A and B are shown apart, each in its own frame.
Chain A
Amino acid sequence: MSAPSLPPSESFKLSMLLSDTRYRGMSLQVITFIVFMAVFFWLVDNTIKNLALLDKDVSFNFLWLRAGYDINQRLIPYTSDSTHGMAALVGILNTLLVAFIGCIIATVLGLFVGILRLSKNWIVAKLMSAYIEGFRNVPVLLWIVMVFALLTEFTPAPRAFKGAEPEATMLFFDSVAITNRGTYFPAPVLAEGAYWLLLCFGFSIVASIYFIRYANKKKKDTGKSLPKFWVSSVMIVFPTLILFFAMGQPVSLEYPYLKGFNFKDGIHLRNSFLALTLALAFYTSAFIAEIVRAGIMAVSRGQSEAAASLGLRPNKIMSLIILPQALRIIVPPLISNYLNLTKNSSLAIAVGYMDVRGTLGGITLNQTGRELESMLLLMGFYLAVSLLISSFINYFNRSFQIVVR
């Protein structure tokens, strides 16, 4: 009997680079890499040639030069004598402000609309789906422009508040004035000792967090639940309130008032800011509502039925069974919608809000003629924000997703 022989080993042929699955992947990668690098160097080479033709260099020194333009909304001290770098920073903060407040409003609205959309009440459900479809199917740019038009055209001018019988009145006991130049709110004024109040408030929050942890632990160990919500709210509100009166009300409100043809004092929110934030929030809330709805519906009916058969009350079923499972589905797309809102805030230019695209990518770019550098920095900023957020999503997914294999 002859021993089974191995198949004759093929000698390596050049064509096997393309035909043999063992080598094909490798040769494909090499080709891709070469093509990629060739295109890359071609682009870089073109850029160098073009810059040479225009007699330009690549330098970020312009960031330390005097900007020479004003920004009407600034969260940090800035004048036209500040540098371009400062202007960019003011812009970045303005972008983040819109993004932050927009995300909060969008989440609250979206949650509200998403849950009402599932309501058994026919008319409410229909109304909410009209809201969702209306906002989702019309470009956000159009919404921004429309909200801006609404705020500037259909609100009274400050002088309408003048006189013994004014055409317009301030809202909420003469504290909020909505005008075509923006909305004025009362501003908190911190007197001496106000910092103790803040400190006290901070401590109460920390203490209540510890209390909630303690309550959770106790529940795990003994099965008895403490009234977490009530105790922690009392813990947060009362000490600060008592201290507030004990110290003789160190925080007061400064009301806006009419002086000449304009309002003075108080917090002034410009229409550009309001329009951008509100429009982005409404638009995004429609998407969030759909995410919330999908998340709740994705938890199978069996889950709530099983919970009910264990004897859990409806609100416990929601908080212990449905929500934890729905959140796992809701949170990743929710965060990516926050990201979308942040990126959409670059539409600020449509209403003249000075975000980072308006300062760094707008006036600075035009004044210095540094298109390449400005755009690089601008893209770098957005990229940094989005990579930060998407790495958070990945972290969330890793730690909360059900592991299959």
Chain B
Amino acid sequence: MMTKIAFVRKKEIPPSAPPITEVGLIGWLRQNLFSSWLNSILTILSVYFIVIILWDFIPWAYGGHWNTKSLRECLDLDPDVACFSVLTARWKQLLFGLYPAEEYWRPTLTFIFLLLAIVPILFPKFFRFFWFSIIYPGLAVWLLWGGSFWSISIVYIGLTLGALFFLTLIRRYLKNYMIAAILAFLSTAVFFLFISNPLVGLLNVILPISLPFVESLKMGGFTLSLIVGVTGIVASFPIGILLALGRQSNLPVIKMICVGFIEFIRGVPLITLLFVASVLLNYFLPPGTNFDIVLRVVIMVTLFSAAYMAEVIRGGLAGLPLGQHEASASLGLTYWQSQRLIIMPQALKISIPGIVNTFIGLFKDTTLVSIISLRDPVGLASTIRADQKWNGIYWELYVAIGLMFFIFCWGMSQYSQYLERKLKTDK
């Protein structure tokens, strides 16, 4: 006889709700903040730290004075809060340096155009506006320094003519790229040496467009940081790629020159290079030459970060499996074709974080120009503090300057993370 089973459950028991300590806010707190006694101590310490900082900072910043005439006045009103009046009084200087006040629209417009010019580079969706990014450097130089419109646009005219000449040669007459390139280069040089000056004179007479000239020493503040930073970033990238390729090259002379250059630049602090630019460069140039200090600084900063860029890209190149080189060679691609189509796209993708870090480093390093007494924001901070009215002010200025740099640099690093996610091919 079969044993009688008193009860058999026909339906599955519905899953009971998880314990209240494991879900919702409490669960989250338990898992993330109080999972062990060590974690709990850390959490309490962190919260304590944050509260202490905010306890001091919020009343200080929130109650800050914005409209006093001097630090003295601030201290008389309430010595325990911030005196942001220094920013109200001097923000123009921090942004534009000694740029003539009636011309402030020019750096402002240059900055707005900069934002517009970056868009096609950052987001491929807008690539059809890339022509603006190409025009932008010339436009920026003209807007910032002023002078005749034609003396800047002649550079574009000359380069365009040279490029057209090169293309015509290749399409119609010559098969050899190198000879065509040399011919195009020579003819462009002839254009700039003999034709451009009279042409500019002529255009100036026919259609005079010009802005009042502003000399480099008047540039300052964030305008200067951006001039040096952006030019350095744009110029150091291609130079860095060439240096990296040169370092990997199997042509010993080129390799040696590149290695020597990279190791030298990376071996010395940027300050010494800037000193060379400001003090020593006159020794190395023909007697009597004296060229623009901002240009010198830009060149030095560019060379400096190009060397770092080269090392970053070399890291990316080394990170590629050897098979990629071999496969592209076995497909019959030439050196430049395989670099352009196979190697570089992958190597650059690997090195995005490093490249952007170099850009950020360069932008931060623009503050060093204050040491050769150019008026970048940090240099201006000391100038402002030397003023009797604001003598003794620290944090308000430093916090403001630091915040400006933080926004730019942090923005760059966020973009690099976005780019990494976008270009990720695995998973």
On A, residues with C-beta under 8 Å from B are 15, 18-19, 24-25, 28-29, 32-33, 36, 43, 46-47, 49-51, 53, 116, 119-124, 127, 133-134, 136-142, 145-146, 149, 153, 343-344, 346-347, 349-350, 357, 361, 371-372, 375, 378-379, 382-383, 385-387, 390, 404-405
Contact = CB atoms under 8 A, between A and B. Distances in A.
A379 B378 contact: no
Contact of A46 (B39, B178, B284, B394): B284
B263 A121 contact: no
B88 interface: no
Interface string B391-427: 0001100100110011001100100000000000000
B279 interface: yes
B413 A137 contact: yes
A124 to B, nearest CB: 5
B272 A346 contact: yes
12 contacts: A15-B179, A18-B179, A46-B285, A116-B42, A122-B32, A136-B413, A137-B364, A139-B378, A141-B371, A141-B378, A146-B398, A375-B280
B266 interface: yes
A373 to B, nearest CB: 11
A53 B43 contact: no
Interface stretch (B73-81, B187-195, B232-240, B246-254): B246-254
Given A137-B409, A390-B263, A347 B371 contact: yes
A137 B271 contact: no
Given A142-B367, A346-B271, A375-B276, A133 B410 contact: yes
Contact of B272 (A121, A139, A379, A387): A379
B27 to A, nearest CB: 13
Interface of B: 31-33, 35, 39, 42-43, 46-47, 49-50, 176, 178-179, 250-254, 257, 263-264, 266-272, 275-276, 279-280, 282-287, 322, 360, 364-368, 370-371, 378, 381, 394-395, 398, 401-402, 405-406, 409-410, 413
Given A136-B409, A375-B280, A387-B263, A28 B367 contact: no
Contact of A349 (B283, B371, B401): B371
B315 to A, nearest CB: 10
Contacts of A46: 283-287
Contacts of B252: 29
B267 A149 contact: no
Contacts of B39: 119-121, 124
Contacts of B31: 120
A118 B401 CA distance: 30
A357 B371 CA distance: 12
Contact of A29 (B253, B368, B381): B253
Contacts of B253: 29, 32-33
B273 to A, nearest CB: 9
A43 to B, nearest CB: 5
A119 B402 contact: no
Contacts of A36: 257
B50 A43 contact: no
Contacts of B364: 137-140
B284 A47 contact: yes
Contacts of B269: 343-344, 346, 357, 382
A138 B268 contact: no
A35 to B, nearest CB: 10
Contacts of B268: 343, 379, 382-383, 386
B409 to A, nearest CB: 4
A142 B272 CA distance: 19
A305 B185 CA distance: 61
Contacts of B257: 32, 36
A51 B398 CA distance: 42
B398 A142 contact: yes
A120 B254 contact: no
Nearest to A347: B271
Nearest to B404: A138
Nearest to B29: A122
Nearest to B368: A141
Contacts of B410: 133, 137
A137 to B, nearest CB: 4
Given A46-B283, A141-B367, A404-B322, 15 more contacts: A25-B250, A120-B39, A122-B33, A133-B410, A134-B406, A136-B409, A137-B364, A137-B405, A138-B406, A142-B398, A146-B395, A343-B268, A344-B269, A357-B272, A387-B267
